[in-house]
Structure 1
Protein backbone atom coordinates (compact mmCIF):
# COMPACT_ATOMS: atom_id res chain seq x y z
CA UNK A 1 0.00 0.00 0.00
CA UNK A 2 1.25 3.49 -0.86
CA UNK A 3 1.04 5.64 2.25
CA UNK A 4 1.75 8.89 0.38
CA UNK A 5 -1.45 8.95 -1.67
CA UNK A 6 -3.51 12.11 -1.29
CA UNK A 7 -7.20 11.99 -0.43
CA UNK A 8 -7.98 13.23 -3.94
CA UNK A 9 -5.97 10.41 -5.53
CA UNK A 10 -7.72 7.65 -3.58
CA UNK A 11 -11.06 9.33 -4.21
CA UNK A 12 -10.50 9.51 -7.96
CA UNK A 13 -9.31 5.92 -8.10
CA UNK A 14 -12.55 4.75 -6.48
CA UNK A 15 -14.76 6.97 -8.64
CA UNK A 16 -13.30 5.79 -11.94
CA UNK A 17 -14.99 2.82 -13.59
CA UNK A 18 -12.40 0.03 -13.54
CA UNK A 19 -13.00 -0.93 -17.18
CA UNK A 20 -13.50 2.40 -18.91
CA UNK A 21 -12.03 5.02 -16.59
CA UNK A 22 -15.23 7.10 -16.79
CA UNK A 23 -15.78 8.82 -13.42
CA UNK A 24 -18.97 8.45 -11.40
CA UNK A 25 -20.74 11.75 -10.80
CA UNK A 26 -18.98 13.42 -13.72
CA UNK A 27 -21.40 16.39 -13.68
CA UNK A 28 -20.33 17.45 -10.19
CA UNK A 29 -16.80 16.05 -10.25
CA UNK A 30 -15.10 19.43 -9.81
CA UNK A 31 -16.99 20.00 -6.55
CA UNK A 32 -15.86 16.67 -5.19
CA UNK A 33 -12.23 17.07 -6.25
CA UNK A 34 -12.09 20.59 -4.87
CA UNK A 35 -13.55 19.28 -1.62
CA UNK A 36 -10.90 16.58 -1.41
CA UNK A 37 -8.15 19.18 -1.52
CA UNK A 38 -9.89 21.39 1.05
CA UNK A 39 -10.30 18.45 3.43
CA UNK A 40 -6.63 17.55 3.02
CA UNK A 41 -5.66 21.12 3.88
CA UNK A 42 -8.06 21.10 6.85
CA UNK A 43 -6.52 17.91 8.21
CA UNK A 44 -3.10 19.54 7.87
CA UNK A 45 -4.39 22.54 9.88
CA UNK A 46 -3.81 24.88 6.93
CA UNK A 47 -7.36 26.18 6.41
CA UNK A 48 -10.24 27.18 8.67
CA UNK A 49 -13.97 27.67 8.09
CA UNK A 50 -15.89 30.39 9.90
CA UNK A 51 -19.13 29.68 11.75
CA UNK A 52 -21.42 32.21 10.13
CA UNK A 53 -24.33 30.80 8.09
CA UNK A 54 -24.47 32.01 4.49
CA UNK A 55 -25.99 31.09 1.17
CA UNK A 56 -22.68 29.86 -0.26
CA UNK A 57 -21.38 28.28 2.92
CA UNK A 58 -18.75 29.43 5.40
CA UNK A 59 -15.73 31.57 4.52
CA UNK A 60 -12.48 29.64 4.12
CA UNK A 61 -9.21 31.22 5.20
CA UNK A 62 -5.66 29.94 5.17
CA UNK A 63 -3.68 29.47 8.38
CA UNK A 64 -0.17 28.40 9.25
CA UNK A 65 2.99 29.09 7.31
CA UNK A 66 5.76 27.28 5.50
CA UNK A 67 5.61 25.33 2.23
CA UNK A 68 3.47 22.25 1.77
CA UNK A 69 5.20 19.06 0.68
CA UNK A 70 2.90 18.38 -2.26
CA UNK A 71 2.76 20.89 -5.16
CA UNK A 72 -0.92 20.18 -5.83
CA UNK A 73 -1.79 21.15 -2.25
CA UNK A 74 0.51 24.15 -2.37
CA UNK A 75 -1.15 25.43 -5.52
CA UNK A 76 -4.61 25.15 -3.92
CA UNK A 77 -3.37 26.77 -0.72
CA UNK A 78 -1.93 29.71 -2.68
CA UNK A 79 -5.22 30.15 -4.55
CA UNK A 80 -7.18 30.21 -1.29
CA UNK A 81 -4.70 32.64 0.27
CA UNK A 82 -5.16 35.14 -2.59
CA UNK A 83 -8.72 35.95 -1.59
CA UNK A 84 -11.05 34.85 1.22
CA UNK A 85 -14.01 33.12 -0.38
CA UNK A 86 -17.02 31.13 0.67
CA UNK A 87 -16.70 27.41 0.32
CA UNK A 88 -19.05 26.73 -2.60
CA UNK A 89 -17.43 29.06 -5.16
CA UNK A 90 -14.07 27.98 -3.79
CA UNK A 91 -14.87 24.33 -4.51
CA UNK A 92 -15.38 25.29 -8.13
CA UNK A 93 -12.29 27.51 -8.31
CA UNK A 94 -10.01 24.88 -6.77
CA UNK A 95 -11.56 21.78 -8.31
CA UNK A 96 -12.04 22.83 -11.93
CA UNK A 97 -8.44 22.21 -12.95
CA UNK A 98 -7.70 19.07 -10.95
CA UNK A 99 -9.01 16.21 -13.09
CA UNK A 100 -6.12 15.89 -15.56
CA UNK A 101 -3.27 16.35 -13.04
CA UNK A 102 -4.76 13.67 -10.78
CA UNK A 103 -5.25 11.28 -13.72
CA UNK A 104 -1.61 11.80 -14.69
CA UNK A 105 -0.53 11.00 -11.12
CA UNK A 106 -2.52 7.77 -11.11
CA UNK A 107 -0.97 6.80 -14.44
CA UNK A 108 2.54 7.55 -13.15
CA UNK A 109 1.91 5.55 -9.97
CA UNK A 110 0.77 2.54 -11.99
CA UNK A 111 -2.85 2.52 -10.80
CA UNK A 112 -4.26 3.21 -14.28
CA UNK A 113 -3.18 2.47 -17.81
CA UNK A 114 -3.97 4.41 -20.95
CA UNK A 115 -5.46 2.67 -23.98
CA UNK A 116 -5.85 4.58 -27.23
CA UNK A 117 -8.16 3.12 -29.85
CA UNK A 118 -10.12 4.13 -32.93
CA UNK A 119 -13.86 3.59 -33.13
CA UNK A 120 -14.86 2.24 -36.55
CA UNK A 121 -11.23 2.75 -37.49
CA UNK A 122 -11.77 6.52 -37.64
CA UNK A 123 -12.52 8.23 -34.35
CA UNK A 124 -9.77 8.24 -31.70
CA UNK A 125 -10.82 7.38 -28.16
CA UNK A 126 -8.92 6.93 -24.91
CA UNK A 127 -9.78 4.55 -22.08
CA UNK A 128 -8.28 4.52 -18.59
CA UNK A 129 -8.81 1.03 -17.16
CA UNK A 130 -7.52 0.20 -13.68
CA UNK A 131 -4.31 -1.76 -13.25
CA UNK A 132 -4.66 -4.88 -11.13
CA UNK A 133 -1.82 -4.06 -8.73
CA UNK A 134 -3.71 -4.83 -5.52
CA UNK A 135 -3.86 -1.25 -4.24
CA UNK A 136 -7.39 -0.38 -5.30
CA UNK A 137 -8.75 -3.75 -4.17
CA UNK A 138 -7.29 -3.17 -0.70
CA UNK A 139 -8.67 0.38 -0.63
CA UNK A 140 -12.14 -0.89 -1.52
CA UNK A 141 -11.86 -3.58 1.15
CA UNK A 142 -11.14 -0.89 3.74
CA UNK A 143 -14.11 1.19 2.57
CA UNK A 144 -16.40 -1.84 2.85
CA UNK A 145 -15.04 -2.67 6.32
CA UNK A 146 -16.13 0.78 7.48
CA UNK A 147 -19.49 0.94 5.72
CA UNK A 148 -20.64 -2.67 5.94
CA UNK A 149 -18.98 -3.84 9.16
CA UNK A 150 -18.98 -0.59 11.16
CA UNK A 151 -15.21 -0.20 11.32
CA UNK A 152 -13.58 3.07 12.42
CA UNK A 153 -11.65 4.85 9.64
CA UNK A 154 -8.51 6.89 10.04
CA UNK A 155 -8.90 10.57 9.01
CA UNK A 156 -7.70 9.92 5.45
CA UNK A 157 -10.16 7.10 4.78
CA UNK A 158 -12.92 8.93 6.65
CA UNK A 159 -12.47 11.88 4.31
CA UNK A 160 -12.59 9.68 1.22
CA UNK A 161 -15.84 7.99 2.29
CA UNK A 162 -17.41 11.27 3.43
CA UNK A 163 -16.71 12.80 0.02
CA UNK A 164 -18.13 9.80 -1.85
CA UNK A 165 -21.28 10.05 0.24
CA UNK A 166 -21.64 13.84 0.03
CA UNK A 167 -21.20 13.81 -3.74
CA UNK A 168 -23.94 11.20 -4.16
CA UNK A 169 -21.65 8.84 -6.06
CA UNK A 170 -21.22 6.12 -3.43
CA UNK A 171 -24.07 3.85 -4.61
CA UNK A 172 -23.06 4.26 -8.27
CA UNK A 173 -19.46 3.09 -7.90
CA UNK A 174 -18.45 0.08 -9.96
CA UNK A 175 -17.74 -2.13 -8.12
CA UNK A 176 -19.72 -0.66 -5.22
CA UNK A 177 -20.15 -1.55 -1.55
CA UNK A 178 -23.25 -3.58 -0.71
CA UNK A 179 -25.89 -0.86 -0.59
CA UNK A 180 -28.34 -0.97 2.31
CA UNK A 181 -29.94 1.35 4.85
CA UNK A 182 -27.08 0.51 7.22
CA UNK A 183 -24.47 1.43 4.62
CA UNK A 184 -26.33 4.65 3.81
CA UNK A 185 -26.62 5.77 7.43
CA UNK A 186 -23.01 4.87 8.19
CA UNK A 187 -21.87 6.98 5.24
CA UNK A 188 -24.02 9.88 6.40
CA UNK A 189 -22.43 9.64 9.86
CA UNK A 190 -19.02 10.06 8.27
CA UNK A 191 -20.23 13.16 6.43
CA UNK A 192 -20.52 14.80 9.86
CA UNK A 193 -16.75 14.62 10.25
CA UNK A 194 -16.70 12.65 13.51
CA UNK A 195 -13.44 11.00 12.42
CA UNK A 196 -11.62 14.38 12.48
CA UNK A 197 -10.33 15.68 15.80
CA UNK A 198 -11.13 18.91 17.64
CA UNK A 199 -11.53 22.15 15.75
CA UNK A 200 -10.61 20.44 12.47
CA UNK A 201 -13.92 18.60 12.68
CA UNK A 202 -15.81 21.89 12.27
CA UNK A 203 -13.98 22.83 9.08
CA UNK A 204 -14.38 19.32 7.72
CA UNK A 205 -18.11 19.06 8.51
CA UNK A 206 -18.86 22.48 7.00
CA UNK A 207 -16.87 21.70 3.87
CA UNK A 208 -18.55 18.32 3.38
CA UNK A 209 -21.99 19.92 3.91
CA UNK A 210 -21.18 22.48 1.23
CA UNK A 211 -20.12 19.74 -1.18
CA UNK A 212 -23.39 17.90 -0.60
CA UNK A 213 -25.43 21.07 -1.10
CA UNK A 214 -23.46 22.16 -4.14
CA UNK A 215 -23.53 18.74 -5.78
CA UNK A 216 -27.28 18.50 -5.23
CA UNK A 217 -27.82 21.95 -6.73
CA UNK A 218 -25.72 21.18 -9.80
CA UNK A 219 -27.46 17.82 -10.26
CA UNK A 220 -30.92 19.45 -10.08
CA UNK A 221 -29.87 22.11 -12.58
CA UNK A 222 -28.56 19.44 -14.95
CA UNK A 223 -31.78 17.41 -14.72
CA UNK A 224 -34.22 20.31 -15.08
CA UNK A 225 -32.22 22.29 -17.60
CA UNK A 226 -32.78 26.02 -18.34
CA UNK A 227 -36.20 27.38 -17.52
CA UNK A 228 -38.42 28.32 -20.40
Structure 2
Protein backbone atom coordinates (compact mmCIF):
# COMPACT_ATOMS: atom_id res chain seq x y z
CA UNK A 1 0.00 0.00 0.00
CA UNK A 2 1.52 3.31 -1.00
CA UNK A 3 2.49 6.01 1.51
CA UNK A 4 0.14 8.45 -0.25
CA UNK A 5 -2.88 6.20 0.19
CA UNK A 6 -2.10 5.57 3.86
CA UNK A 7 -1.45 9.27 4.55
CA UNK A 8 -4.68 10.32 2.85
CA UNK A 9 -6.53 7.65 4.79
CA UNK A 10 -5.89 9.23 8.18
CA UNK A 11 -8.84 11.33 9.33
CA UNK A 12 -11.42 9.74 7.02
CA UNK A 13 -14.33 7.69 8.30
CA UNK A 14 -13.65 4.03 8.92
CA UNK A 15 -15.98 1.34 7.63
CA UNK A 16 -16.66 0.52 11.30
CA UNK A 17 -17.70 4.14 11.92
CA UNK A 18 -20.04 4.15 8.92
CA UNK A 19 -21.48 0.84 10.11
CA UNK A 20 -22.09 2.21 13.62
CA UNK A 21 -23.94 5.22 12.18
CA UNK A 22 -26.20 2.88 10.22
CA UNK A 23 -26.83 0.60 13.20
CA UNK A 24 -27.85 3.37 15.62
CA UNK A 25 -31.21 5.09 15.29
CA UNK A 26 -30.76 8.81 14.65
CA UNK A 27 -33.62 9.83 16.94
CA UNK A 28 -33.54 7.40 19.86
CA UNK A 29 -29.80 6.84 19.82
CA UNK A 30 -30.40 3.12 20.38
CA UNK A 31 -28.92 0.29 18.28
CA UNK A 32 -31.21 -1.53 15.85
CA UNK A 33 -29.56 -4.85 16.71
CA UNK A 34 -27.95 -6.30 19.82
CA UNK A 35 -24.87 -8.18 20.94
CA UNK A 36 -22.90 -10.10 19.95
CA UNK A 37 -23.87 -9.30 16.37
CA UNK A 38 -23.27 -5.56 16.48
CA UNK A 39 -19.91 -5.88 18.21
CA UNK A 40 -18.65 -8.65 15.96
CA UNK A 41 -19.82 -6.75 12.89
CA UNK A 42 -17.69 -3.80 13.97
CA UNK A 43 -14.78 -6.20 14.48
CA UNK A 44 -15.40 -7.61 11.01
CA UNK A 45 -15.42 -4.07 9.61
CA UNK A 46 -11.98 -3.44 11.11
CA UNK A 47 -10.69 -6.73 9.70
CA UNK A 48 -12.00 -5.72 6.26
CA UNK A 49 -10.41 -2.27 6.59
CA UNK A 50 -7.02 -3.76 7.41
CA UNK A 51 -7.41 -6.20 4.52
CA UNK A 52 -8.18 -3.36 2.09
CA UNK A 53 -5.12 -1.51 3.38
CA UNK A 54 -2.94 -4.53 2.63
CA UNK A 55 -2.08 -5.11 6.28
CA UNK A 56 -3.61 -8.58 6.70
CA UNK A 57 -5.11 -11.20 4.45
CA UNK A 58 -6.97 -14.49 4.60
CA UNK A 59 -4.71 -17.25 3.32
CA UNK A 60 -5.55 -19.35 0.29
CA UNK A 61 -4.24 -22.78 -0.72
CA UNK A 62 -0.47 -22.73 -1.16
CA UNK A 63 0.12 -19.75 1.17
CA UNK A 64 2.61 -19.75 4.03
CA UNK A 65 -0.18 -20.48 6.50
CA UNK A 66 -3.14 -22.84 6.23
CA UNK A 67 -5.93 -21.79 3.86
CA UNK A 68 -8.62 -19.76 5.59
CA UNK A 69 -6.28 -18.60 8.36
CA UNK A 70 -5.00 -15.11 9.12
CA UNK A 71 -1.96 -13.94 7.19
CA UNK A 72 -0.11 -10.82 8.42
CA UNK A 73 1.42 -8.83 5.55
CA UNK A 74 2.49 -5.48 6.96
CA UNK A 75 2.64 -4.29 10.57
CA UNK A 76 3.54 -0.68 9.73
CA UNK A 77 1.10 1.61 11.59
CA UNK A 78 -1.72 3.15 9.55
CA UNK A 79 -1.76 6.35 11.58
CA UNK A 80 -5.24 5.61 12.93
CA UNK A 81 -5.10 4.67 16.62
CA UNK A 82 -8.14 2.39 16.50
CA UNK A 83 -6.85 0.43 13.51
CA UNK A 84 -3.30 0.29 14.83
CA UNK A 85 -4.43 -1.16 18.17
CA UNK A 86 -6.19 -4.00 16.32
CA UNK A 87 -3.33 -4.43 13.84
CA UNK A 88 -0.89 -4.88 16.73
CA UNK A 89 -3.19 -7.55 18.17
CA UNK A 90 -3.51 -9.38 14.83
CA UNK A 91 0.25 -9.15 14.22
CA UNK A 92 0.75 -11.65 17.03
CA UNK A 93 -1.85 -14.09 15.68
CA UNK A 94 -0.62 -15.29 12.26
CA UNK A 95 -2.20 -18.60 11.30
CA UNK A 96 -5.19 -18.13 13.61
CA UNK A 97 -8.77 -18.63 12.41
CA UNK A 98 -10.24 -15.12 12.05
CA UNK A 99 -13.57 -16.12 13.60
CA UNK A 100 -11.72 -17.19 16.74
CA UNK A 101 -10.21 -13.69 17.03
CA UNK A 102 -13.45 -11.79 16.59
CA UNK A 103 -14.31 -11.57 20.30
CA UNK A 104 -11.01 -9.97 21.26
CA UNK A 105 -10.90 -7.92 18.06
CA UNK A 106 -14.24 -6.37 18.96
CA UNK A 107 -13.45 -5.91 22.67
CA UNK A 108 -14.28 -2.28 23.67
CA UNK A 109 -14.50 -1.43 19.96
CA UNK A 110 -18.10 -0.22 20.03
CA UNK A 111 -17.40 2.30 22.80
CA UNK A 112 -14.28 3.54 21.00
CA UNK A 113 -16.13 4.01 17.71
CA UNK A 114 -19.11 5.78 19.28
CA UNK A 115 -16.87 8.03 21.39
CA UNK A 116 -14.87 9.03 18.31
CA UNK A 117 -18.04 9.87 16.43
CA UNK A 118 -19.24 11.99 19.36
CA UNK A 119 -15.89 13.77 19.54
CA UNK A 120 -16.23 14.63 15.85
CA UNK A 121 -19.67 16.07 16.45
CA UNK A 122 -21.41 13.39 14.38
CA UNK A 123 -23.21 11.77 17.32
CA UNK A 124 -24.24 13.08 20.71
CA UNK A 125 -23.46 11.18 23.91
CA UNK A 126 -26.78 11.49 25.75
CA UNK A 127 -26.21 10.18 29.28
CA UNK A 128 -29.13 9.18 31.48
CA UNK A 129 -30.41 6.51 33.86
CA UNK A 130 -32.85 3.64 33.45
CA UNK A 131 -35.41 3.54 36.26
CA UNK A 132 -33.45 6.37 37.82
CA UNK A 133 -30.73 3.91 38.86
CA UNK A 134 -28.76 2.35 36.03
CA UNK A 135 -26.57 4.65 33.90
CA UNK A 136 -27.08 4.40 30.16
CA UNK A 137 -25.80 6.37 27.18
CA UNK A 138 -27.82 6.95 24.03
CA UNK A 139 -26.13 8.06 20.81
CA UNK A 140 -28.55 10.16 18.73
CA UNK A 141 -27.38 11.90 15.56
CA UNK A 142 -25.96 15.41 15.94
CA UNK A 143 -24.74 15.98 12.39
CA UNK A 144 -26.28 13.45 9.98
CA UNK A 145 -24.75 14.78 6.75
CA UNK A 146 -22.12 12.06 6.37
CA UNK A 147 -24.56 9.32 7.31
CA UNK A 148 -27.00 10.66 4.70
CA UNK A 149 -24.30 10.24 2.05
CA UNK A 150 -23.62 6.67 3.17
CA UNK A 151 -27.33 5.85 3.16
CA UNK A 152 -27.76 7.37 -0.30
CA UNK A 153 -24.96 5.18 -1.62
CA UNK A 154 -26.58 2.11 -0.04
CA UNK A 155 -29.97 2.91 -1.51
CA UNK A 156 -28.54 3.54 -4.98
CA UNK A 157 -27.08 0.05 -4.93
CA UNK A 158 -29.93 -1.80 -3.19
CA UNK A 159 -32.91 -0.03 -4.74
CA UNK A 160 -31.62 1.29 -8.08
CA UNK A 161 -29.18 -1.49 -8.89
CA UNK A 162 -26.04 0.62 -9.33
CA UNK A 163 -22.61 -0.98 -9.00
CA UNK A 164 -21.27 -0.72 -5.44
CA UNK A 165 -17.84 0.54 -4.48
CA UNK A 166 -15.79 -1.85 -2.38
CA UNK A 167 -16.58 0.06 0.82
CA UNK A 168 -20.32 0.27 0.13
CA UNK A 169 -20.39 -3.42 -0.76
CA UNK A 170 -18.56 -4.23 2.46
CA UNK A 171 -21.20 -2.35 4.46
CA UNK A 172 -24.01 -4.13 2.61
CA UNK A 173 -22.37 -7.52 3.19
CA UNK A 174 -21.98 -6.83 6.91
CA UNK A 175 -25.59 -5.63 7.22
CA UNK A 176 -26.77 -8.68 5.29
CA UNK A 177 -24.78 -10.99 7.56
CA UNK A 178 -26.54 -9.39 10.54
CA UNK A 179 -29.91 -9.67 8.76
CA UNK A 180 -30.69 -6.00 9.46
CA UNK A 181 -30.87 -4.54 5.94
CA UNK A 182 -34.64 -3.75 6.21
CA UNK A 183 -33.99 -2.05 9.57
CA UNK A 184 -31.46 0.25 7.92
CA UNK A 185 -33.23 0.88 4.60
CA UNK A 186 -36.62 1.35 6.20
CA UNK A 187 -38.60 2.88 3.32
CA UNK A 188 -38.28 -0.07 0.94
CA UNK A 189 -41.64 -1.37 -0.29
CA UNK A 190 -40.44 -4.92 -0.97
CA UNK A 191 -38.27 -5.94 1.99
CA UNK A 192 -37.85 -9.48 0.65
CA UNK A 193 -36.39 -8.15 -2.61
CA UNK A 194 -34.17 -5.78 -0.63
CA UNK A 195 -32.73 -8.63 1.44
CA UNK A 196 -32.25 -10.74 -1.71
CA UNK A 197 -30.35 -7.94 -3.46
CA UNK A 198 -28.13 -7.44 -0.40
CA UNK A 199 -27.40 -11.18 -0.22
CA UNK A 200 -26.54 -11.24 -3.93
CA UNK A 201 -24.02 -8.44 -3.41
CA UNK A 202 -22.56 -10.16 -0.35
CA UNK A 203 -22.01 -13.34 -2.37
CA UNK A 204 -20.87 -11.70 -5.62
CA UNK A 205 -17.39 -10.80 -6.84
CA UNK A 206 -17.59 -7.30 -5.34
CA UNK A 207 -14.20 -7.55 -3.66
CA UNK A 208 -11.15 -9.72 -3.28
CA UNK A 209 -11.77 -13.20 -1.91
CA UNK A 210 -10.06 -12.27 1.36
CA UNK A 211 -12.42 -9.36 1.98
CA UNK A 212 -15.50 -11.50 1.38
CA UNK A 213 -13.95 -14.15 3.61
CA UNK A 214 -13.61 -11.56 6.39
CA UNK A 215 -17.38 -11.01 6.27
CA UNK A 216 -17.99 -14.76 6.39
CA UNK A 217 -15.65 -15.09 9.38
CA UNK A 218 -17.56 -12.37 11.23
CA UNK A 219 -20.85 -14.12 10.50
CA UNK A 220 -19.42 -17.47 11.63
CA UNK A 221 -18.27 -15.88 14.90
CA UNK A 222 -21.72 -14.37 15.51
CA UNK A 223 -23.41 -17.69 14.81
CA UNK A 224 -21.04 -19.56 17.13
CA UNK A 225 -21.57 -17.01 19.91
CA UNK A 226 -25.34 -17.26 19.60
CA UNK A 227 -25.19 -21.06 19.74
CA UNK A 228 -23.02 -20.91 22.88
CA UNK A 229 -25.35 -18.37 24.51
CA UNK A 230 -28.40 -20.44 23.62
CA UNK A 231 -26.83 -23.61 24.98
CA UNK A 232 -25.89 -21.85 28.23
CA UNK A 233 -29.43 -20.48 28.55
CA UNK A 234 -30.94 -23.90 27.97
CA UNK A 235 -28.62 -25.47 30.52
CA UNK A 236 -29.47 -22.77 33.05
CA UNK A 237 -33.21 -23.32 32.68
CA UNK A 238 -33.09 -27.10 32.92
Q: TM-score range by the shorter chain?
A: 0.7 to 0.9
TM-score between the two structures when normalised by the length of structure 1? 0.84
Superimposed CA distance per residue, residues 173-227 of structure 1 (whole angstroms, 9 cap, x where no aligned partner): 3x6352533321221122236222xxxx111121111222322333345456233
Residue correspondences, number: 217
Higher relative contact order, structure no. (Cα contacts within 8 Å, ≥ 6 residues apart): 1
CA distance in 2, matches of 1:59, 1:177: 39
1:87 to partner: Cα distance: 1.0
Tell me if 1:72 matches 2:79: no
Counterpart in 1 of 2:17? 9
User: Displacement, 1:67?
Assistant: 2.2
Is 2:192 the partner of 1:181? Answer: yes
- The aligned runs of 1:10-29 (5 Å cut-off) are 10-27=18-35, 28-29=37-38
Q: Are 1:147 and 2:158 an aligned pair?
A: yes
Match for 1:130 among 141, 166, 172?
141
Normalised by the size of structure 2, how large is the TM-score? 0.81
Q: Tell me which residue corresponds to 1:33.
A: 42
- Deviation track 1:62-119 (CA, whole Å, cap 9, x = no partner) reads 1035321211111111101112210111111111220111011110121111223455
Structure 2 residue runs without a partner (length 5+): 1-10, 62-66
* Cα shift at 1:132: 4.2
SS for the counterpart of 2:127 is: strand
Among 93, 100, 109, the residue aligned to 1:83: 93
Match of 2:211 among 192, 198, 204: 204
- 1:119 and 1:19 map into 2 onto residues whose CA distance is 18
Paired residues of 2:182 and 2:194 also in contact (CA < 8 A): no
Whether the 8 Å contact between 1:61 and 1:80 is mirrored in structure 2 is: no
User: Structure 1: which 5+ residue stretches go unaligned?
Assistant: none
User: In the alignment, does 2:198 pair up with 1:190?
Assistant: no
Task: Write out aligned runs for 1:90-169 (5 A).
Answer: 90-118=101-129, 124-169=135-180
More deviation, 20-29/93-102: 20-29
> For the structure 1 residues 226 and 155, does the alpha-carbon distance in structure 2 shift closer, same or farther, using more than 3 Å as the test?
same
**Structure 2 counterpart of 1:218, from 213, 218, 225:** 225
Q: Do the aligned residues in 1 keep the contact of 2:55 with 2:73 (CA within 8 Å)?
A: yes
Residue of structure 1 in register with 2:181 after alignment:
170
Change (3 A) 1:226 1:70: same
RMSD: 2.3
* Aligned-partner SS, 1:101: helix
